[in-house]
Amino acid sequence: MILKIECLTKRFGGIHAVKDCSLEIEREKITAIIGPNGSGKTTLFNLISKLLKSNDGHIHFNGKNITKLKDYEISKSGISRTFQDVRLFRNLTIKDHLEISLSNSDESIFKSLFKDKPNNAERIDRILKLVHLKKPLNTLVTDLSYGQRKLLDLAMAIAKPHSLLLLDEPVAGVNPVLREEIKEIIKNLNKNKGTILLIEHDMNFVMDLADYIFVMDAGKIIAHGEPAEIQSNKKVLEAYLGD
């Protein structure tokens, strides 16, 4: 187990965005979190990466209690993430972005990718190949399409040294061709011993990719299991269809 969350709770005023949430994530697996809009998925990621402070509960990562760490300490401890609303710098290039991610990185989870200790230029080249981003390095973010920005955001998360990758809706709003490409990229990362926790609404994507699924509704985990179990779970169907 790489990540263990116990009874995590986050309130915004009267809203329980995350309520008594407990889950365990296995190493070298692809785990998905699904659930209706507003069910607390992104808040859970924000609590793990410490953009938000929890009201209650504990988080253990790689056997250590990380509940009280600051956001930069979480990142240093090896949790890397992407954002639902892709966050890039308008006036910087692809190369600038990846250099920011690679700075202070002297090791990587993807040891197979970097085992010959390549320099930064070579690392950038390999990461861009891994995410199939085929644009010149000096391309500004403003000259990238929405899909290419999603790929750059993913490339940045991969470039940071990490042992757990959190992806918040990696295929939201992308076209079907790119969606299949991103699916292959994630499978490939996992084949290289990557551990991935992803949030996604696209059910076909989740069912194809995930080894294990947690379902959230109104801040709580209402079901968890392998894709086949989840697809036939009554509580899950109710959460999606309303009762």
Q: For the chain, where are the E strands, in sequence order?
A: 3-12, 15-25, 30-34, 56-61, 64-65, 79-81, 164-168, 196-199, 212-217, 220-225
Structure token digits, residue 219 = 């801040």
Q: How many residues bind ligand ATP (CB under 6 A)?
A: 12
> Contact, 239 vs 222, CB < 8 A?
yes
First to last CA, the chain: 35
Task: Specify the 3-state DSSP secondary structure of 168.
Answer: strand
Least Å distance between CB 213 and ligand ATP? 14
Q: Please state the φ and ψ torsions of residue 65, each to the nearest 5 degrees.
A: -80, 115
Q: Which stretch binds ligand ATP (CB under 6 A): 11-19, 63-71, 110-118, 151-159?
A: 11-19
The nearer residue to Mg ion, 41 or 160, going by C-beta atoms, is 41
Among 40, 57, 170, 194, binds ligand ATP (CB under 6 A): 40
Binders in 115-174 for Mg ion, by CB under 5 A: none
User: By C-alpha distance, which of 156, 178, 181, 180 is closest to 167?
Assistant: 156
Report the b/e string of 55-68 with b at 16+ CB within 10 A: eebebbbeeeebbe
Q: Is 42 a binder of Mg ion (CB under 5 A)?
A: yes
Orientation angle between helical segments 120-130 and 94-102, nearest 10 degrees: 110
The nearer residue to ligand ATP, 3 or 169, going by C-beta atoms, is 169
The nearer residue to ligand ATP, 43 or 108, going by C-beta atoms, is 43
Q: Is 54 a binder of ligand ATP (CB under 6 A)?
A: no
Least Å distance between CB 13 and ligand ATP? 7
The nearer residue to Mg ion, 83 or 212, going by C-beta atoms, is 83
Q: Is 51 a binder of ligand ATP (CB under 6 A)?
A: no
Q: Is 41 a binder of ligand ATP (CB under 6 A)?
A: yes
Q: Which residue number places its CB atom closest to Mg ion?
A: 42
The residues that touch ligand ATP, with contacts defined as CB under 6 A, are 12, 15, 17, 35, 37-43, 84
